[in-house]
Structure 1
Amino acid sequence: MRGRVRKAIFPVAGLGTRLLPATKTMPKEMLTVVDRPLIQYAVDEAREAGIEQLIFVTGRGKAALVDYFDTAFELEATMEAAGKSLDALAPTRARFGEVVTVRQQRPLGLGHAVWCARDIVGDEPFAVLLPDDLMSGTPGALKQMVDAWEKVGGNMLATEEVPAEKTRSYGILTPGKVDGDLTEVLGLVEKPEPEDAPSRLAVMGRYILQPELMRVLDKGERGAGGEIQLTDAMAQLIGTQPFHALKVDAVRHDCGDKAGFVIANIALALERGDIAPKVRDFLATLRA
């Protein structure tokens, strides 16, 4: 069951309706936080964690995601001719075979999106990263998870505590034994009402999962919203395999939400030495 986590699924077929009109023609994952698109942050996090194959589960109108990690010959030739450095483009170049794409042809939920990558994942453990959840921290959230997973194996989720009124927006876990930042997962429920929630520990957009999950998703069982829910499928593995949640040392920004997207831009800009002074000066004028 251990092996090594070499593959990561990025479910990027969503329409991004919460960010309209910006996402009418632009994939939400290509919207920039400071000077990098959301997908770049997620890919950088995956690479840091040792991921070797990036599996994009895409949909119609998402070609820009794949093009972004291709080599831009015209751009690079023009920059070189002008004596400009290509360093800024280095993270955007995928190694040969690093990026693989598969289509999710119908919007049937996160569980269905993950299931679409079943033949690429094969019989290996795999990670899932939701680019909407921008996780800011050093080391990255997935690296922290991989390090913990190598000690306990099985399945692992990133988690954080949310206010009671927010439980209806997340998968919520039933906690068991706690060992530092690791919590045993005894149960999972998708988007419970506050009065029905077993805890306030919410699942964030980072997962390490065993390939047996795909066999559960094969059933195509529908859950909340009539969709094939990843949370419901994971819940069926509890008790048959080790299952833990890790409280990662990272700040989560919900960039699928307009306010969260703006806050992420400000927060990450303030971490950048080249632009932070100007941003701080501007924020000071708002408080005056």
Structure 2
Amino acid sequence: MSIRKAVMPVAGLGTRVLPASKVIPKEMLPLVDRPTLQYIVEEAVEAGIEEVIFVTSSSKRSIEDHFDSFPDLERTLERKGKFKELEELRRVQNLAQFAAVRQPEALGLGHAVLCAKHLVGDEPFVVMLGDDLVAPETPCLPRMMELFERYQSSVISLFEVPKEEISKFGIVAGESVDGEQGFVKIAHMVEKPDPEEAPSNLAVAGRYVLTPDIFELLEKTKPGKGGEIQLTDALQAQAQEGRCFGMRFDGERFDTGNPLGLLKTSIAYALKRPELASELRAYMQSMLEYSKSNER
């Protein structure tokens, strides 16, 4: 069965980027001239996703609005002859079919995914986190979806982390699969372990391809670390049955969930834009020289 739907849990409070995220969802903070979440939606669509399901909260209405029509603005743009902007506006709202469901309380990533059960139905689907970006030049979803088709099991993206950051992520241990470079059959998975107790330094990134039985497992999952229902715990149950794999991702990945990561990502994406790159590089060089001169 082809994968048509992506679930994007975007109900979090974004406390790491306060006060910017007090009234603006962290997923809507801009990278150059578009919100972070738009890049993730475009990544999903490029991989073949047709329907995007946002798991939101009461303070995240602007997410739904951004991907909806805005007749007053469209008429204004048309009247002023700003057809390029009008075309881009309409392109965004037609990227995919959009739906949203509320997560009434912040009870963890596993609970957020479970909130989308009735919209996903009995079919495989993708989960994409709203503060984790993958550069368009090095996508991981197409390969993950290909591996899912081959093994008919859940596939999660993995990347290596330094020891001091292990406690921030879900960590896995697994065995290599013959003939599949960078692909492992996961044997064990634990959420945010102490570095000394971690089974490896392979961390779960923000991309998942999941089989629909994950919902039944989540319904049985008891709250774990932090009193939350962890997606990692349900995936661990699949791993114990030999039905969870990991794909090591060596491409370009960005974490926008903290101020420095957001700043780095914005600069990196601006440098990918030909109309901005040259002037931005010149400005950055001048600022470096100014900073050095002040250090003398």
Which amino acid in the other structure matches residue 132 of structure 2?
A: D
Aligned pair 1:273/2:271, yes or no? no
Correspondence 1:37-48 to 2 at 5 A: 37-48=35-46
Correspondence 1:99-138 to 2 at 5 A: 99-138=98-137
**How far apart are the structure 1 equivalents of 2:138 and 2:150?**
17
**How far apart are the structure 2 equivalents of 1:219 and 1:244?**
21
Correspondence 1:209-228 to 2 at 5 A: 209-228=210-229
Aligned pair 1:22/2:20, yes or no? yes
Correspondence 1:63-78 to 2 at 5 A: 63-78=61-76
Which amino acid in the other structure matches residue 92 of structure 1?
A: V
**How far apart are the structure 2 equivalents of 1:127 and 1:201?**
20
Gaps of 5+ in 2: 290-296
Question: Normalising by the residue count of structure 1, what TM-score does the alignment of the two structures yield?
Answer: 0.95
Which of the pair is proportionally richer in helix?
A: 2
Preserved contact between residue 44 and residue 91 of structure 1 (Cα < 8 Å): no
Q: In the alignment, what sits opposite 2:88?
A: 88
Correspondence 1:135-284 to 2 at 5 A: 135-138=134-137, 140-178=139-177, 179-284=180-285
Cα distance, 1:230 vs. partner? 0.6
Cα distance, 1:48 vs. partner? 0.9
Q: In the alignment, what sits opposite 2:32?
A: 34
Partner-residue secondary structure (3-state), 2:239? coil
**How far apart are the structure 2 equivalents of 1:141 and 1:157?**
10
Cα distance, 1:72 vs. partner? 1.2
**How far apart are the structure 2 equivalents of 1:57 and 1:199?**
31
Which amino acid in the other structure matches residue 101 of structure 2?
A: V
CA RMSD of aligned residues (A): 1.5
CA offset digits 1:236-280 (Å, max 9, x no partner): 011425321112353111101111000001111111101001110
CA offset digits 1:183-236 (Å, max 9, x no partner): 221111111111111110000010001111111111240111111011011100
Which amino acid in the other structure matches residue 28 of structure 2?
A: M
**How far apart are the structure 1 equivalents of 2:199 and 2:152?**
24
Preserved contact between residue 126 and residue 208 of structure 1 (Cα < 8 Å): yes
Cα distance, 1:35 vs. partner? 1.0
Which amino acid in the other structure matches residue 218 of structure 2?
A: L
Preserved contact between residue 46 and residue 143 of structure 1 (Cα < 8 Å): no
Which amino acid in the other structure matches residue 279 of structure 1?
A: L
**How far apart are the structure 2 equivalents of 1:200 and 1:176?**
14
Question: Normalising by the residue count of structure 2, what TM-score does the alignment of the two structures yield?
Answer: 0.92
Preserved contact between residue 110 and residue 230 of structure 1 (Cα < 8 Å): yes
How many residues align? The count is 285
**How far apart are the structure 2 equivalents of 1:284 and 1:155?**
45
